[in-house]
Amino acid sequence: MKEVTVSNLLEKKRRHEKITALTAYDTPMAEMLDRLGIDLILVGDSVGMVLLGYSSTRFVTMDEMIHHTKAVRRGVKRAYLVGDMPYRSYQTPAAAYKNACRFIDEAGCDAVKLEGGEAVLPVLRFLRKKKIQVQGHLGLLPQSVKPGTPFHLKAKDPLSAKQLMEEASLLEKEGAFSIILECIPYEVGRMVTALVKIPTIGIGAGPFCDGQILVTHDLLGLFQTFKPRFVKPYADLAQRVGRAVATYRREVSNRSFPTLHHSFSMAPEALRQLKRITQSLRHD
């Protein structure tokens, strides 16, 4: 499979071919997603809640994002790699550029992602002027939700839906290569997708977006704390892992693991020599 580029993603939209996107936070998962043909891999700030034990994405730091993105980069050979700019890392164009450069130069990303519409336009404009590719994110913006506050459907009334559509057009105009649409009515997702010429990638935004993204741990049934309605679990690995760990604990406890089959042995002559030279170590 060929390396995925922005041109490939735009062409998929033009041909009405669906874009597949998933999150990754480590090398083994990134290698697997890349090998299986996922188009776009996002190192999301969701890593904070999925792997790091935070109650909100707001607590994720730039250093943590760079650490995980570098690990993902080592596993990605062909997918388009996007790094999620964490909370308060793009408050000004200058700060955004400094941190985006870390994603691009230090971690090897192809692009970065920003949450927000009109408020992030100056940052988007500046980054594009510096030739950095940017993915937008509209609808539910997790970084805007205070810790402990539940997530809610966005753009559910005519005025907020119209505003989201206008902001999507502005993101496109300022050079975003695609837009993630999160937790909005499917009708609005469909209208935004028809409005803009850049790909829309939905997560809880209905089946009419140009592509779909999920948190991979949700897809695999590994994240049990928060189960959004829009997630379809394709496996229940948490249950399978639980059974495996319980079996391991039982077998270690009852001495049925490890057996000699799982062990290494010395050559007979080496063992005889070892016994001779260690006789002096024995105590009567």
For residue 89, what are its two tokens? 């890392």
Element (DSSP H or E) covering residue 136: strand 134-139
DSSP 166-233: HHHHHHHHTT-SEEEEES--HHHHHHHHHH-SSPEEEESS-TTSSEEEE-HHHHTT---S---TT---
Query: How far, CA to CA in Å, does 141 sit from each of 15, 61, 171, 180, 231?
Result: 29, 17, 15, 10, 17
Q: Position of tokens 């404009």?
A: 125
Determine which one of 182, 187, 251, 269 is catalytic: 182
64 is catalytic: no
Task: Just list the catalytic residues.
Answer: 182
